[in-house]
Amino acid sequence: MRLFIVFAPLFAVSAPLNCYICNSKKQPDCIDNYQAFNTICPVRSLGGVKLHEPVGCRVTRQYSKEKMWIIRECGYLGEERERKFNTTTYLNGVKEPATCVFSQCSENLCNSAESSNYFLTAAAVFVAIFKLFA
């Protein structure tokens, strides 16, 4: 019995990570009905060689003018974080300024609508201010 207790931790297998995986540009339900996209994150591999185990879930919200997109996905690098940055995007073939709000977390299904509410609010304020001065 003691032998089992000593060696049991050596055989522990980590549980798979579940995240919501969708893109609201292609899947409009990704915004409000994201629960339908509950997926086990695959291990990334190349030519049959395992390269990266998933380390967390990500959600990226992109705002440009009056448009918003959400991308929910598995994360393979990095640590838990939230950040906001400015970028550009193309709307109807025209390059437009955009703001991205990015969040990565490490628990199952943590890239839901409730994740990064602080940045969602901040981004909404940014869009409102942008509309005032545009």
User: What does the pLDDT read at residue 97?
Assistant: 92
In a domain, 61, yes or no: yes
In a domain, 46, yes or no: yes
Cβ-defined contacts of 26-33 (< 8 Å, 24+):
30/70, 30/71, 30/72, 31/68, 31/70, 32/113
Higher-pLDDT residue of 11, 30:
30
In a domain, 4, yes or no: no
What mean pLDDT is reported for the chain? 80
pTM: 0.71
Number of domains in the chain: 1
| Structural domain span for residue 68 | 18-133
In a domain, 31, yes or no: yes
- Closest to 112 (Cα-Cα) out of 60, 59, 61: 59
